[in-house]
A and B are shown apart, each in its own frame.
Chain A
Amino acid sequence: MSNTGTYEKPGLLGTFGRDGLMQIILIANTIVMLFPIIIMVMSGFKSNVEIFQSPFSIPDFTDISNFVAMATQTSFLRYLMNSFIVTGASILLLLTLGTMAAYAIARYDFFGSSFILLFFMAGLMVPLKLAIIPLFILFRDLGILNSHWALISVYTAMGLPSTVFIMTGFIRTLPRELEDAARMDGASELRIMWSVMIPLCRPALVIAGIYNLVPIWNDFFFPLVFIQDDALKTLPQGMTTFIGEFSTNWGVMFAGLTLAAAPITILYIVLSKQFINGMTAGAVK
């Protein structure tokens, strides 16, 4: 992009050398990034003997016995389902509640609104992991320890500050005219919010959703403490169970890890732009 300015200068060769060096660094890094993932996927199609004797060879991709074993002999699908339920419910709740708060803060002038925004912002700084003991006792007292509600509650609370932050910033940029026109037509506040404003918020909702989706989907710490019942485990936690069961069968372990990585990887490749924007949203603002 900046080549045009440097062409007339004596540093022409130097510039080419620098870009060459940068290209080499990028290619080397991409190999280091992708090679382990490729080995993981390929090993999923191999037997122990093949993995130990020729770890880097290309396998017979039609032999999916390891994947079948993972899907039928373990609770993999159960864990996957649980992850979908917990992540889906948490994202739905935190987007709903976060947008409600952000809408009130951004669209109405009322006493204490900046204090409430500050209150949510403070939540961005709190590592909730360190409050795990009181949360454990709280959930036991509420009778939701060892249930999906424990996870959904924590994830919703954890995701609220960032959602309020992202949504408030976005809703503030929306023009007043639309809202005023609708109000002139006699629409209720609820109707203005739901039919006029929310549809405009879609891009910000995607950013806030992805920002929270990845850490919630991948979380291991809270299920480790809250969930004991095997039938309720989420995928990252369930993985420790099936890795334990197949600890001598490397092919099945790699197949399981590949299957576990698949949903988010596919989503990431399809939506890479939104993922990158979303996950760095708080940092780049």
Chain B
Amino acid sequence: MLRNYFKIALRYLSKNKLYSFINIFGLAIGIASFVLIMLYINYEQSYDKFEGSENIYRVYMDYLEGDTFIPGDAQTYNLSGPTLKSEFPEVLDYVRFFYFEKMTFQLDERIFEQPLGSLVDPSYFNIFNYPLLKGEKEKVLSQPYSIVLSKSFAQKLFGNESPLQKTISAFRDGKEAVLTVTGVMDDIPKNAHYRNTFLISYETEKTWTDWGSKAHELNWNANNYYTFIKLDPNTNADVLRQKIIESDIEEDTEEQHNIEPIEDIHLYSNKPYEVSANGSITRVKFLMAIAFIILILSWLNYVNLSVTKSMERAKETGIRKVSGAHKSQLIIQSLFESILLNLIAIMLSLLFVVIVLPLYNGITGKGLNLQLGSLSAFLPYFLFILFGMVAAGLYPALLLSSYSPIKALKGKIQTSSQGLAIRKGLIVAQFLATIVLLIGTIVVTKQISFLESQPIGTDINQVIALKGEVVTTKPDSLLINEYKVLEEELKKLPFVEKIAIAQSYPGDSFDNLSSNRGILLPNGIKQDDKLFYTYHVQPDYFDLVDIEFLAGGTFLPSSNFDGKQVVVNETFLKNMGISSYDEILNKTVGFWGENEWRVTGVIKDYYHFGLKSPLLPMVIRYERDVNNILIKLDASAASVAGFESSIAQIKSEWTKVFPKSTFNYTFLDQKFEAQYQEDKSFGAAFQVFTLLAILIAAMGLFGLTSYTVVQRKKEIGIRKVNGATIPQVLTLLNKDFVKWIGVAFVIAVPISWYVMSQWLEGFAYRTTLSWWVFALAGISALLIALLTVSWQSFNAAVANPVESLRDE
């Protein structure tokens, strides 16, 4: 019996090629989109999961803003961990990290930079249950000057030799430390927010640099450490959180400690000083909604087509009934067909996924794959697909089997008014989903172009930042002089327009800014609860990045002044309640235990981190030190060839001055744009999936019209014989669709308005939801639908009526 069903179903599918193609292809696209999005979402949700990770929490700071505490820095004090452990029995252990974005290493004559590593407490492996390949977890980090390497870093350094007990030099701001390799750990998985490639024992901090012993003393002054704690499995984390907040371990009224599960960091945390750029739960939710919309859209499509098609199959059903088929047998047969069709679609969709995956990984920047291991996580979705498959097959099956045989045989099946209402409802739902997605795409695109087109208050085109680590034992003062020499040499190069040294610059990572509270203003008021951010630069910086002065100017040459100069911005003035420039210009402010910082200028606000974060109150200090060399290149370096020769000359000057060093450079504008990367790929994903959704809906409509037209062939013939013109017939055939789109549009507008407003909330600066966004989406949907429908209805309208009336 099943073999018979199978044979007949296959034959039916191959005979009705258009119908089968539209159905299978539509479903396959729907399922493939669903699988792709779910792969991404699964991956995003898989961050920082390891054995015991459910009991690991990160400690972070809340800051007082007005009268409420808001999430502040992701970094804490070196006292935070020890204090929490001693005061709360629920805290079993803690681990502190001091994070290096990159570090310079030397092995024999090789000097190179290695990204991402930390100074870390010996308790690391007690909390992060990652595999240690060589060495003992309890001992590897217990002695100062020990280093644990990741597998690939060890490979890079020592090839296949055993790295244990070998030594390697590391340089921190030029200071060498000779480290002994005590262990090798497995590479930390990509879906972890903190991916160390080397771990140096925490005790090393004390003697590595000149200021090390001071920094190493337990204190509540410098929150530069990530702290993770391990809780007793029976702890109620919310209760503990409350206890931590109430106990105020730091005894500071302006800030408090808080905790968050490590598993939540990637999707829920977006604080200043995160280790790496995190994902976003909003994006995940949006994508999940899109995934379900597309999948359901393809099922609606399927149901609608099958129902329409089932009327064509009424005669067949009648014959089968008269030949003795029982209703349940007809339902099973119909379901069997629909499941077969779905299975073909699923197989096709998996093929799509496999083909598209490399491209998709390129867009999302993730290493997604269809591993069997991840299939268990897919089980609920798989069951959902299965459920939808049966549900979508059931309605046409029930409908088909319910036809009375006599009517079915006479071909007199007409959709009941109820059935018609359901089909209209399905079409409206399809258009609704399409219009909502269209509006979403337009808003996302509009927001991204808004972000990119806003003036950022600074000009960073054609600016590069040179930064290399110099391996030397010279004191800082000598190094500064060598930098001066280099600066002078570089200035002589024809394509160098401007040059300046700066610790940070627009678009740089948060790490290089320091957040502070407590400033003494010239009016004698001490502002203790207002945050401000600082970094240091040299006088030419403002001119180079074209930041405008509203009052005063850049720092005076240091020979005239003994350092201690600052420039502040508009937002700083506003936040500190200073209304006129005279109140502060050429006056002094106090912070960091120094009361003689002279304010030489007030700059116009610029966006240090792009428009995703609000304007920051800035205090930019003057300091002569060794740091990024910013170079503004002239137009001759704009071309690829011009740039390559320029950078080669710059590098040769650099190597002349610093023979033992590493060299690298960054384009400021590229780094700045990179901040929008996640939003751009989200926008791209949104566009692609919207297009696919439209394609599915259009295919469905195409299929639907082809049957409507067949059904109304006789009517069209009669009308034409009685004098209807082609435009009149077209109007007749198309006006229903226009009406349905209208209904869908009216429902779609408030839904999308609400949802997209929510999304825009996530941005500090946002575009408006203009009326034309909605109009554009509505008109696009209408045009797409009309084009699709007219393709078929036009043929019907121009057909010779004699043809359509003949077979009566």
Does A associate with B in a complex?
Answer: no
